[in-house]
Amino acid sequence: MILRKYQKIKYSELHSKAKEAYNFQKASAVLADYGFVTNLLKYDWVGADFLAQHIDGDWLKIQLKGRLTADLKYIGKDIHIMFEHKRTKEWYLYPHDALVDYCKKTFPDSAKAKIGYSTGRLSEWEKKWLEKYKIPS
Pairwise CA distance, residues 114 & 111, whole Å: 5
User: Facing residues of 62 across strands?
Assistant: 50, 80
3-class DSSP assignment, residue 31: helix
| Span 87-130, pLDDT tens digits | 999 999 999 999 999 999 999 998 888 888 999 899 999 999 99
pLDDT at 44: 80
CB neighbours of residue 27 within 10 Å: 23
Highest CATH level, class, for 15-135:
alpha beta
Pairwise CA distance, residues 96 & 72, whole Å: 9
**Per-domain residue ranges of the chain:** 15-135
pLDDT at 93: 98
pLDDT at 94: 98
| Span 52-95, pLDDT tens digits | 999 999 999 999 999 999 999 999 999 999 999 989 999 999 99
Pairwise CA distance, residues 42 & 10, whole Å: 25
